[in-house]
A and B are shown apart, each in its own frame.
Chain A
Amino acid sequence: MQSLSNRAKKLEKKPMNLSERMYLPAIFQGLSITMRHFFKKKATIKYPEETRPMSAVWRGLHVLKRDEKGRERCTACGLCAVACPAEAITMVAGERKRGEENLYREEKYAVSYEINMLRCIFCGLCEEACPKAAIFLQNDKLAPARYERDEFIYGKDRLVEPMPIELTSSAAAR
């Protein structure tokens, strides 16, 4: 049959010569290849002891930041919830009362702030939408696997950054 492009390579099936029919050279070649792999450096990362280094721009678990005096920055404006394409964020806003000035920076604050980690796609749009620099996606923490679905709804108890130590000690001194 005429080939259309004339580029088809004509392959001829030759009968095997003696060394090929003995198979032994081929077997030794194969053995030497596997032996080379035997001494190769292994690609495995032994997970719980070693972890793969994370990228600097990795978007992991969210955190709600505090300002330099330890007050929550979030003002419950809802821009993050609007920006969220997966609708993972819900919040309830509340008014700051007298005497709570050292807890919340603005007059309005988030009474509850929940992120459903099963819905979240870790796109980072909440971080971009936030006008108060309150929410960030950390590059060193993951939302780990859990047994129950409701454990994936992260409230303020797990999202707000813990109070820095020097501020807690100075507050205790006062």
Chain B
Amino acid sequence: MELSLLLIKALIILAVFGVTLLIATYSTYAERKVAAFIQDRVGPNRAGPFGLAQPLADAVKLFFKEEFVPANANKFLFIAGPSLAMLTACMSSAVIPFGGTLIIGGEAIHLQAIEVNIGILYVFGIVALGVYGIMIGGWASNNKFSLLGAIRAASQNISYELAMGMSIIALLLVTGTLSMRDIAAQQGEELFGISGMNWNIFYQPLGFLIFIVCAFAETNRVPFDLPECETELIGGYHTEYSSMGMGLYLFAEYVNIFVASAVMSTLYFGGYNFPFMDQLGLPHNVVTILGTVVLFGKIFFFIFFFMWVRWTLPRFRYDQLMNLGWKILIPLSIANVILTGGAILLKQEFFQ
């Protein structure tokens, strides 16, 4: 019993890890294709059919390049930086529920690697750790531009984590739980007679807006990609990196995008729930598998949205970034918390 449980958990963890890496790999391809399509080009189409082997070719190229360490760099930290960035990026997908329960042989198996009752806090902690990878790498390079990029990354992440946390607090007032599994399950309830439509976006539209802006900032994506601002900082924190060190940084960014998309889908867009999920009369396992497919659909949409925004908006100036973070998003998110709390109190007083 105990052993089989361990085996199932190990299998799920392996699957989640593999899927995360696979999606991150093909995000690099998708990014180039989306960029090309938006700019009226065709994008990579030489390696394999439709250029589908392009990520493999990129990876092989990065592996075979020289791993160069600058003369006055701190060698240990120089290598620890990208490793830490990759490690933290891969850790955070562990608590995301990728589906409901599969019932096999009378036993319910949750499609989630690890259930912790403070799932959101775990994700937050890991994402906050992610900036250390950039900080360490930028500092260890012994290069002014890298250091500037790293400092920018650190201050940007701290600024936007506050607003993000505040927007999450408003969400937690609605859900009343920190567990990702419970939050996902709650959104499967009925709303106006449609099952699986009780999504948090209907209760927290402003919170979602703040969250998605902060998610862009946390993943260092355009329009908040100041840490790697080419025009001012050459390459930012990864100026001195070559070969797989560089590859890990870029890869970690895509893993982060995947995780941010998964978190947004789970917290605000109903996770694995889809409209009419209980009213179709399908067997439980089929509904679960459909739910997983739907969740990945939502995740892919958000990944596409990240890329769509990247090729639409220009980069913020540094003071504009800080203004937006401290003077607009944080007051807005505090107002959102107060409004949500007031609405919940009113509901308890008068409608129950």
Q: Mark A residues whose CB is within 8 Å of B.
A: 27, 30-31, 33-35, 37-40, 42-44, 46
Query: Within B305-342, which residues are at the interface with A (CB < 8 Å)?
Result: 308-309, 311-313
Query: Within B46-63, which residues are at the interface with A (CB < 8 Å)?
Result: none
Separation in Å of the B301 CB from the closest CB of chain A? Answer: 13
Q: Is the CB of B312 within 8 A of A34?
A: yes
Query: Within B172-202, which residues are at the interface with A (CB < 8 Å)?
Result: none
Q: Which residues of B contact A39 (CB under 8 A)?
A: 37
For this complex, 10 residue pairs linking A to B, each with C-beta atoms less than 8 Å apart, are A30-B312, A31-B312, A33-B312, A34-B311, A38-B34, A40-B40, A42-B42, A43-B41, A44-B41, A46-B45
From A27, A37, A46, B40 is in contact (CB under 8 Å) with: A37
Q: Is the CB of B308 within 8 A of A34?
A: yes
Q: Is the CB of A31 within 8 A of B42?
A: no
Q: Is the CB of B312 within 8 A of A42?
A: no
Separation in Å of the A12 CB from the closest CB of chain B? Answer: 23
Q: Is the CB of B308 within 8 A of A43?
A: no
Q: Is the CB of B308 within 8 A of A31?
A: yes
For the residues of A in contact with B, the DSSP-based class is: helix
Q: Which residues of A contact B40 (CB under 8 A)?
A: 37, 40, 42-43
From B39, B42, B311, A46 is in contact (CB under 8 Å) with: B42
Q: Is the CB of B42 within 8 A of A37?
A: no
CB of B7 within 8 A of chain A?
A: no
Q: Mark B residues whose CB is within 8 Å of A.
A: 34, 37-42, 45, 308-309, 311-313
A30-B313 contact in complex given A37-B37, A38-B37, C-beta closer than 8 Å = yes
A31-B37 contact in complex given A42-B42, A46-B42, A46-B45, C-beta closer than 8 Å = no
Q: CA–CA, A8 to B40, complex, Å?
A: 38
Q: CA–CA, A96 to B236, complex, Å?
A: 74
Separation in Å of the A20 CB from the closest CB of chain B? Answer: 14
A38-B38 contact in complex given A31-B308, A46-B45, C-beta closer than 8 Å = yes
Q: Which residues of B contact A40 (CB under 8 A)?
A: 40
Q: CA–CA, A57 to B86, complex, Å?
A: 59
Q: Is the CB of A27 within 8 A of B313?
A: yes
Q: CA–CA, A31 to B313, complex, Å?
A: 8
Q: CA–CA, A81 to B131, complex, Å?
A: 71
A35-B42 contact in complex given A27-B313, A30-B313, C-beta closer than 8 Å = no
Q: Is the CB of B308 within 8 A of A35?
A: yes
Separation in Å of the A22 CB from the closest CB of chain B? Answer: 9
From B38, B42, B311, A44 is in contact (CB under 8 Å) with: B42
Q: Is the CB of B38 within 8 A of A37?
A: yes
Q: Which residue of chain B has the shortest Cβ distance to A41 in the bound complex?
A: B40
Q: Which residues of A contact B42 (CB under 8 A)?
A: 42, 44, 46
From B39, B309, B313, A37 is in contact (CB under 8 Å) with: B39
- 4 smallest beta-carbon distances between A and B, as pairs: A34-B312, A30-B312, A44-B42, A34-B38
Q: Which residues of A contact B34 (CB under 8 A)?
A: 38
Q: Is the CB of B41 within 8 A of A42?
A: yes
Q: Which residue of chain B has the shortest Cβ distance to A42 in the bound complex?
A: B42
Q: CA–CA, A33 to B40, complex, Å?
A: 12
Besides A30-B313, A31-B309, 18 other CB < 8 A contacts?
A27-B313, A31-B308, A33-B312, A35-B308, A37-B37, A37-B39, A37-B40, A38-B34, A38-B38, A40-B40, A42-B40, A42-B41, A42-B42, A43-B40, A43-B41, A44-B41, A46-B42, A46-B45
Q: Which residues of B contact A44 (CB under 8 A)?
A: 41-42
Q: CA–CA, A40 to B41, complex, Å?
A: 10
Q: Which residues of A contact B308 (CB under 8 A)?
A: 31, 34-35
Q: CA–CA, A38 to B40, complex, Å?
A: 7
Q: CA–CA, A30 to B312, complex, Å?
A: 6
Q: Which residues of B contact A43 (CB under 8 A)?
A: 40-41
Separation in Å of the A36 CB from the closest CB of chain B? Answer: 10
